[in-house]
């Protein structure tokens, strides 16, 4: 089970980095900020949101866990643990809208790659 979670995390990261690479080529305005509520800035890098051309990509550590592209918001179910669960709740507390991994990745690919899955 743990190996499967690592493989899934790596797949999410690979896809998110490929999509961001494609998006970066057309950047007109980008910024990165911390979306978390940590009492210390030492942990701020664990909860980053990257905004590119108005589209938001939320990360827990190095894993894409939510995104808002062209006004379409998607957030994944918690497959990792308490810390990522806290990060997901900071983004959106409504657990009923969280998507399973396949749905999340399909929506990501549809919006970023025009439906082409190049992993």
pLDDT digits (tens, 9 = 90+) for 14-29: 555 555 655 555 556 7
Report how many domains make up the chain: 1
Asked if residue 97 is part of any domain, the answer here is yes
pLDDT class of 97 with cuts at 50, 70, 90:
very high
pTM of the model: 0.72
Distance (Å, rounded) from C-alpha 117 to C-alpha 109?
6
Task: Report the DSSP pairing between strands 47-52 and 72-75.
Answer: unpaired
Length of the chain: 119
Please say if the pLDDT value at position 114 is more than 80. no
pLDDT class of 2 with cuts at 50, 70, 90:
very low
For the ranges 29-33, 35-39, 111-115, the one whose mean pLDDT is highest: 29-33
For the ranges 6-10, 41-45, 63-67, the one whose mean pLDDT is highest: 63-67
User: Mind listing the pLDDT tens digit for each residue in 58-83?
Assistant: 999 999 999 999 999 999 999 999 99
Asked if residue 118 is part of any domain, the answer here is no
* Domain with 63 in it: 2-112
């Amino acid at each position: 089970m743990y190996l499967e979670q690592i493989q899934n995390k790596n797949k999410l990261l690979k896809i998110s980095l490929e999509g961001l690479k494609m998006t970066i080529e057309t950047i007109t305005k980008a910024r990165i900020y911390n979306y978390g509520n940590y009492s210390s800035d030492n942990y701020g890098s664990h909860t980053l949101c990257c905004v590119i051309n108005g589209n938001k990509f939320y990360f827990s550590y190095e894993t894409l866990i939510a995104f808002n592209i062209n006004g379409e918001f998607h957030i994944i179910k918690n497959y990792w643990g308490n810390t990522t669960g806290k990060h997901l709740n900071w983004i959106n507390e409504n657990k009923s809208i969280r998507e399973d991994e396949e749905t999340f990745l399909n929506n990501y690919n549809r919006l970023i790659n025009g439906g082409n899955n190049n992993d």
